[in-house]
A and B are shown apart, each in its own frame.
Chain A
């Protein structure tokens, strides 16, 4: 079983749509959680950290549920430029990042 599991997608949505990605992790000792964005043939870039209280950054909202070991990312009012692969990432107790396989998002005009 993978440590971080994501639906690979692709999610194909029209501009302006709201889309939600989910992720589960298996290691309850994981300390911190993140969503990274990766464009085709580029490096991963941090999109946002994820907190139990939930956090929002513009059109993006992330949520962590430690009890069910579940992480989510909500994107509102999707833009064409949001098309990318979204990586769910956990940081373990030794500070290394554990990546999910990524969820691919395609936003169409």
Chain B
């Protein structure tokens, strides 16, 4: 069974540009989460989808971040315009419906904003 996949693995952009990260959860997983780790800090929650609905977006840092999950399958996280402090590793995780315990993480997207 394929795990959580994320694309791209790395992205280097300049301040002010737009970047879109993609996450494909494990097939059949209704719960999809975005987390990020900025340099020197712990991994922090961004938001949680249940199917196509945003269940909790309390961790989104500001309105430059937009997450979507149309059709309840893959999700995208767009940063527009990117700022220097957005640099970090963005992880996606998924879990089965009703099974909130084990969240399986993708390999992450390493974002560098210059």
Contact = CB atoms under 8 A, between A and B. Distances in A.
Interface of A: 2, 4, 32, 34, 42-46, 49, 87, 91, 94-102
B1 interface: no
Contacts of A91: 100-101
Contacts of A101: 41-42
Contact of B42 (A45, A94, A96, A102): A102
Interface of B: 31, 33, 35, 41-45, 48, 55-56, 58-59, 91, 93, 100-108
Given A100-B42, A101-B41, A101-B42, A42 B107 contact: yes
A97 B107 contact: no
Contacts of B44: 99
Max chain B CB contacts within 10 Å: which of A34, A96, A101, A102? A96
Given A42-B107, A43-B108, A45-B105, A97 B35 contact: yes
Contacts of B103: 46, 97
A101 B42 CA distance: 4
A23 to B, nearest CB: 12
A32 B7 CA distance: 30
Contact of A96 (B48, B91, B101): B48
Nearest to A94: B56
A98 B100 contact: no
Contacts of B105: 43-45
A28 B56 CA distance: 20
Given A32-B101, A96-B33, A43 B106 contact: yes
A46 B102 contact: yes
A98 B33 CA distance: 12
A97 B107 CA distance: 17
A40 to B, nearest CB: 12
Given A43-B108, A49-B101, A91-B101, A97 B42 contact: no
